[in-house]
Structure 1
């Protein structure tokens, strides 16, 4: 029913189903379909060590009397190339060490008989990710064989420093930013995405909250402690109903409801924009506690518990009698 500019709705199974909307976090296909980076893929900035054996006593590269040459600290330039004497400028980035070995061998084969080449990655500033926020080890971490995926990298950084139930993981890749609940990351292996160079991983605490008012144990803005929160859990979170004040027949949830949900709840098709909704729960009904257990609280909700009629009557009586008490006090003082 409509009251002023708000709709008052008694909660039942239908209302519970239609309003059970929670923020959906997860990665798009662009993130999910990105393959894992090979830890042995050479990238600009990497440093290589080359060892070249020649099957002659007086080779192109080896010193006299030696048949092996070592080229240490060969830097892969910004364009991804290295220079090898007699082989020239070779594209190294994108190759594995074994792939680069074959390329160099092919280049030298025409100039020295049966060359043998060994390529190793030494060090460098290749693929890395930045991790920050509520994490035990903030910093910049390389993408290595054990840390190619999101969960592995979080573990490498020491894990999150907040309860897992309220931890949200945000991954920024270029101009795109997507997020997932930490619990969903562990429960759903599909969400354990492969990392990319220059990814930024931010761990933050869930910012959702509801407001508690009336005859409850606390009058406050209360943060969510779990991904989902029912009306019954919300009341318990703030200390439950005050036994000497609360009216269990009058538990109200105030919410600005999106038009598409409000129209389903009200059975209408003519609403535009967010609607002010007041959902009413009666905990004394046979299924009242079950309704409160199943009704989902959302970010920004206000949970208000009314006072019992007897308490309201006491307040009214006190307001009426207090002036009489003041008059009697004055008369008593005047008589003394």
Structure 2
């Protein structure tokens, strides 16, 4: 009877069970066991689509529009076309390949550079100059340019646009060139966007799983972010707060520990609840049904005093936006009732004494 008018930090264990679908409520109340733990742990993993995983390494030797070239031309005469009097070599630096892919070389004319390797371009220039000067020798160097580049942003040492070169052909090389990630590597996610395709992986997997260290392509965009998942802890715990994930996975037992554990003076260890909205497929799998449609409300029940209760709490995975709620023990409810009642009587007695003294 006292529970009807006493203030409470949240619903009691019995009140939560009373709100179940089985009792005409709006949430499925499910006691956690090994089967439920196994089913609910099957969540989609992060990863790249096959179009990104199967892309071959880019040929960084191919010249592209926007690249910068340096040419050195040796002529077999002392007074050459390009070298001038008393010299047999000339250097032409910072030649940028135009948007159409061409460069202009005196006496060789307008030459298409894009699509060729430096060696192929060297042969083209040599042939064009061969008619103008005897036995020309050409050296072509492709410098850093803005032809094939990747954009990196987010929680990274240096945001910016980075060229794809031999050391940066793959994702790990680009991230290293950008100064590495700034959050804890364990909870850092890396998203690669390529055209209409995108995928997200854990940063550490790029180095642990070779296939995840994908080849870079011109125009790729890379976003580095700290894991944004969190859960809410409420009720008879040492702290009631929003808790960010500090590792890839976190169990119910770790979730309780992360907020200081159960409040020894208040908590009911038989009443640890995890509130969650389950998607249709997962809801049907947990209940062994196939008729549920749409997202369903679930309340998972953990009894830490049961023979396997601690093991179930250790194995049950917490997900993003979960609410972990610990009810107060029945004795706490009784003590609160007695305290409220005796406090009311004490206040009433004090008021009576005050009125009596005023009447004197």
Shift of 1:190: 1.0
What SS class does the counterpart of residue 63 from structure 2 fall into? coil
The one of 97, 102, 108 equivalent to 2:118 is 97
Deviations 1:211-260 (A, max 9, x none): 11100111111111111111011111111101111111110011111111
The one of 154, 164, 167 equivalent to 1:133 is 154
The one of 286, 302, 311 equivalent to 2:332 is 311
Q: 1:165 corresponds to which residue? A: 186
Q: How does 1:250-261 map to 2 (within 5 A)?
A: 250-261=271-282
The one of 26, 35, 41 equivalent to 1:14 is 35
Number of residues of Structure 1 aligned to a counterpart in Structure 2: 336
Return 5+ residue gaps in structure 1 as ranges.
none
Structure 1 Cα separation of the partners of residues 347 and 81 of structure 2:
114
Structure 2 Cα separation of the partners of residues 19 and 124 of structure 1:
50
Is the CA contact 2:71–2:141 (under 8 Å) kept in the aligned structure 1?
Answer: yes
Q: 1:299 corresponds to which residue? A: 320
Structure 2 Cα separation of the partners of residues 8 and 147 of structure 1:
52
Deviations 1:128-161 (A, max 9, x none): 3222221222233222322222122222222211
Q: 1:278 to 1:93 in 2, by over 3 A?
A: same
Residues 1:72 and 2:120 are matched in the alignment? no
Structure 2 Cα separation of the partners of residues 31 and 187 of structure 1:
17
User: What RMSD in Å do the two structures reach over aligned CA positions?
Assistant: 2.2
Shift of 1:104: 2.1
Is the CA contact 1:22–1:228 (under 8 Å) kept in the aligned structure 2?
Answer: no
165-174 vs 10-19, which moves further: 165-174
Q: 1:28 corresponds to which residue? A: 49
Deviations 1:265-316 (A, max 9, x none): 1111110001111110001111111100110111111110011111011112
Is the CA contact 2:48–2:198 (under 8 Å) kept in the aligned structure 1?
Answer: no
Q: How does 1:1-336 map to 2 (within 5 A)?
A: 2-3=22-23, 4-55=25-76, 61-63=82-84, 66-109=87-130, 112-336=133-357
248-257 vs 162-171, which moves further: 162-171
Structure 1 Cα separation of the partners of residues 356 and 294 of structure 2:
67
Q: 1:122 to 1:165 in 2, by over 3 A?
A: closer
Structure 2 Cα separation of the partners of residues 82 and 62 of structure 1:
19
What SS class does the counterpart of residue 211 from structure 2 fall into? helix
Is the CA contact 1:37–1:194 (under 8 Å) kept in the aligned structure 2?
Answer: yes
Structure 1 Cα separation of the partners of residues 90 and 171 of structure 2:
40
Structure 2 Cα separation of the partners of residues 301 and 54 of structure 1:
75
84-93 vs 261-270, which moves further: 84-93
Structure 1 Cα separation of the partners of residues 177 and 78 of structure 2:
49
TM-score by length of 1: 0.91
32-41 vs 3-12, which moves further: 32-41
What SS class does the counterpart of residue 155 from structure 1 fall into? helix
TM-score by length of 2: 0.86
Is the CA contact 1:22–1:298 (under 8 Å) kept in the aligned structure 2?
Answer: no
Structure 2 Cα separation of the partners of residues 273 and 222 of structure 1:
27
Shift of 1:16: 0.4
Structure 1 Cα separation of the partners of residues 248 and 112 of structure 2:
49
Return 5+ residue gaps in structure 2 as ranges.
1-20
Structure 2 Cα separation of the partners of residues 243 and 59 of structure 1:
93
